[in-house]
Amino acid sequence: MYRIAKDSINLLFAKIAEENALYLPVDNEKGSSEYKKWEDGTVMSEKLNTVRSPKDFFFPQVENLMEFKTEGKNIQLIDIREDSEDFVVFGVRACDVKSFEVLDNVFLNEPVDTYYKNRREHGVIIALACTRPAETCFCGTFGIDAASPAGDISAWMTDDTLYLEPNTEKGEKIIALLGDLVTECGAEAVEAQQESTRRIMKKLPLADLTTDAFGGDKTEEFFNAPEWATLSESCLGCGTCTFVCPTCQCYDIKDFNTGKGVIRYRCWDSCMYSEFTRMAHGNNRLSQLERFRQRFMHKLVYYPANNDGMFSCVGCGRCLAKCPISMNIVKVMKTLGGKNNG
């Protein structure tokens, strides 16, 4: 483990930025935080989490895929991909680090999504342990330790010191880049903070929420459950939950005629939208109940069925904070999970 005085953290950021684009959570004018590229004078946010997750760095909301140029009956296909720049994302919380594993299972299995793979290979994650979890947090439900984040480097911030523990070869390279800026120390330096955070997690309102009732073998049990009607009746279908979710991976592919050719791009989509997966014959989920059910069945049943029991939720709490009608995965789990979730 390594350490650097907190009042020297800008020197650390500057050193990393010499060879990498560096992104930090930064407060914005709306009173929340978002990731911004570091430059001298940038102040890192002290808020628990960003409104939108860092999945944007690997799976951006809008992404050009290729171009076509036509001349008569001839069509020219142009590969517009460029190798991603090396970049570092600092301050990623443990829940969001776990979300990358969920996305990796989707985009790095055959057939590999080369756009996503390119960014993953060039990106370095410096994860920052939580010290003040919010009442909307329930990452522990999914086996995530907010006090011990993973990533390429795990980091802990105290009142006067930043501690760094490299976990991967990428992380070791960053530590080597920092050189004499950091000094070695023992792991016991962060143990008191870890214990404090874990005590807080055990006292949060959702600390007892469990996944015991869910999993990949529960399709028949839950698919026709009558509770879906009540749960979904107030859903607006706005898609806010899917856009702030760090693990949602639905997208649409569209073509745009520029007048000089055609650009094919993809953009985030949502299973909560009435036109999602709409084809010539119509839509296979005609009601909001069906669309609502799809989202939560995927998180709690379908995804674990295909990914060795891993759930497609990391308990970050963003959907709890942002849903305009306060309908979220916790209410679904408590309603369908019955006695297992109080």
Q: Indicate if the alpha-carbon torsion angle 121, 148, 312, 105 is positive or negative.
A: positive
Task: List CB contacts of 69: < 8 A, sequence separation 6 or more.
Answer: 75, 76, 78, 260, 261, 262
What amino acid occupies position 79?
D
- Identify the domain boundary among 161, 179, 203: 203
- Same domain assignment for residues 86 and 197: yes
| 259 and 224 fall within a common domain | yes
Is 214 within the bounds of a domain? no
164 plus 258 within the same structural domain? no
Beta strands in the chain (DSSP E): 2-5, 21-27, 33-37, 62-71, 74-78, 87-92, 123-128, 153-157, 161-166, 183-184, 251-257, 262-268
What's residue 195's pLDDT?
A: 96
CB within 8 Å of 63: residues ≥ 6 apart: 115, 265, 266, 267
Determine the structural domain holding residue 13 and report its residue range.
2-61+82-203
Alpha carbons 94 and 286: distance in angstroms, whole number: 37
Per-residue pLDDT of the chain (342 residues; tens, 9 = 90+): 999 999 999 999 999 999 999 999 999 988 899 999 999 999 999 999 999 999 999 999 999 999 998 887 888 888 888 778 899 999 999 999 999 999 999 999 999 999 999 999 999 999 999 999 999 999 999 999 999 999 999 999 999 999 999 999 999 999 999 999 999 998 888 999 999 999 999 999 999 999 999 999 999 999 999 999 999 999 998 999 999 999 999 999 999 998 888 999 999 998 888 777 666 566 576 788 999 999 999 999 999 999 999 999 999 999 999 999 989 999 999 999 974 565
> Among 120, 8, 7, which Cα is nearest to 54's?
120
Q: Let me know whether 32 and 135 are in one domain.
A: yes
In Å, the largest CA–CA distance within the chain is 71
Q: Residue 119 has what pLDDT? A: 95
Q: Provide Rg for the chain, Cα atoms.
A: 22
Residue ending a domain, choose from 154, 173, 203:
203
CA count, 13 A, side-chain hemisphere, 191: 5
Domain membership of residue 72 (yes or no) is no
This prediction's pTM:
0.91
Whether 122 and 249 map to the same domain: the answer is no
Q: How far apart are CA 37 and CA 181, in angstroms?
A: 21
Q: What token pair was written down for 312? A: 């497609």
> CB neighbours (10 Å) of residue 208?
13
Indicate if 27 and 128 belong to the same structural domain: yes
- Give yes or no: residues 36 and 152 share one domain: yes
In single-letter form, the type of residue at position 36 comes to: K
Range 281-290, long-range pairs (CB < 8 A, 24+ positions): 288/232, 288/235, 288/237, 289/228, 289/229, 289/232, 289/233
Are 164 and 260 contained in the same domain?
no
103 lies in the same domain as 182? yes
What is the total count of domains within the chain?
2
Other CB atoms within 10 A of residue 274 CB: 12
Which residue(s) pair with 123 in the sheet? 87
Q: Which residues contact 305 (CB under 8 A, 6 or more apart)?
A: 215, 216, 217, 219
* Domain shared by 43 and 179, yes or no: yes
